[in-house]
Structure 1
Amino acid sequence: MNDNYEKNRRILLVDDEYDIVSLVRIVLKNTGFLVDAYTDPILALSNFKVGLYDLLLLDIRMPEMNGLDLYQNMKQIDSNAKVCFLTASELFYEEYRRMEVHPWLDKAYFIQKPFRTEELIAQIKAIIFS
């Protein structure tokens, strides 16, 4: 993809693991994306604004607020926000879909941890530019 096209794209990254936030932020910035990164989902939510982000990249399991609840709160602010969840569980998507706890999961994307940076970038580009 064209770097100039990516430079105008902003991603919100929220993960309670500082090492993951640091690594992913560097990788995304080096690819040309603008990145706002948080380890605190409550702080991320308080700074969230309509139309500011092309993608929300959210960890699912966080102590203060899980990624699903964070996204539901953000979706009330910006109903068009695209989301990609980071998860260490292979079965997470199928489990929640089967339980129909969150029917909007059909429109969500998932990246399984651990991930290779090349796969992360490819998935993010596919989501943003779709």
Structure 2
Amino acid sequence: MKILLIEDEIKLAGYIKLALDQAGYIIDHESDGVLGLQTAMVNQYDLILLDLMLPSQNGLDILTNLRAFDNHVPVMIISALGSTAQVIKSLDAGANDYLKKPFEIEELLARVRVLQRQHTPKNLSKVKVADLEIDLLSRTVKRGDKSISLSNREFLLLEMLMLNPDQVITKVQILDKVWNMSFDPGSNVIEVHLYQVRKKINDGFTHQHIQTVINRGYILKTIN
């Protein structure tokens, strides 16, 4: 699950980022309202955590703009503005949840899990390709009866390949989805992570699911 945090309180943002990272989520952060909206519009996220009082552009305007452009990514407001009127105004503008500051990080994580369950189609909560299976909610991976431990980036990379079996996924697509990076021909970040994923899912098995398509990208093959 990939999350965008738009929060200008640097100390709080660092605390949230650490907690989400430890919980297994991929987290990007913007502290400015305009930059936050731009980042949300040009990248794909599974959830946005949005403060209301931001420099350059307030959170409610960001939310309104997202919905006006048919961007329906789930949005959780996290704000010190806790009046009933403000909560109602935000929910009516398209927010999916509202968490008042200060809050316990455990409650934030619980609400994130709820939104993840609500917005993950039941038929996609588990994805299976041949003997390889991932659970998008529990973020677990199995091959046959063997459990496999992956890092956050490795899981997101495998998820992308498994949601598109027998299709070539380019480096540009991977960098955009997993790292929010433009293509850099000098970077080997994909190769390094793919090496680890392959090593972990292939250990003890004959069939090599992930294959390199020269000059094109990578593919997860369902059969040899």
SS in 2 for 1:129: helix
Question: Structure 2: which amino acid aligns with 1:69?
Answer: D
Q: 1:78 to 1:27 in 2, by over 3 A?
A: farther
- 2:100 is aligned with 1:108: no
- Structure 1 Cα separation of the partners of residues 4 and 116 of structure 2: 12
Aligned positions of 1:26-105 closer than 5 A:
26-49=18-41, 52-91=44-83, 94-96=84-86, 103-105=92-94
Aligned to 2:110: 122
Q: Which has the larger radius of gyration?
A: 2
CA distance in structure 1 between the partners assigned to 2:79 and 2:90 by the alignment: 17
Give the C-alpha shift of residue 10 in structure 1. 0.6
Whose RCO is larger (CA < 8 A, sep 6+)? 1
Whether the 8 Å contact between 1:51 and 1:78 is mirrored in structure 2 is no
Deviation at 1:96, TM superposition (A): 3.9
The structure 1 residue matched to 2:12, chosen from 20, 25, 28, is 20
Identity of aligned residues (%): 29
Return the alpha-carbon distance in structure 2 between the equivalents of residues 112 and 25 of structure 1: 18
Choose from 3, 28, 31 the match for 1:11.
3
Q: How many residues align?
A: 118
CA distance in 2, matches of 1:28, 1:34: 7
> Contact 1:49–1:78 (CA<8 Å) still a contact in 2?
no
- Moved segments of 4+, more than 6 Å: none
C-alpha distance in structure 2 between counterparts of 1:57 and 1:46, whole Å: 15
State the TM-score, normalized to the length of structure 1: 0.78
CA deviation after TM superposition for structure 1 residue 27, in Å: 0.6
Secondary structure, in 3 states, of the residue corresponding to 1:42?
helix
Shift of 1:101: 8.5
Q: State the superposition RMSD in angstroms.
A: 2.2
How far off is 1:19 after superposition?
A: 0.8
Query: Could you list the runs of 5+ residues in structure 2 that have no partner in the other structure?
Result: 119-224
Q: In structure 2, what is the Cα distance between the partners aligned to 1:111 and 1:88?
A: 9
- TM-score relative to the length of structure 2: 0.48
Alpha-carbon offset, residue 73 of structure 1: 1.8
Deviation at 1:77, TM superposition (A): 3.8
1:82 Cα offset (Å): 0.8
3-state SS, counterpart of residue 50 of structure 2: strand
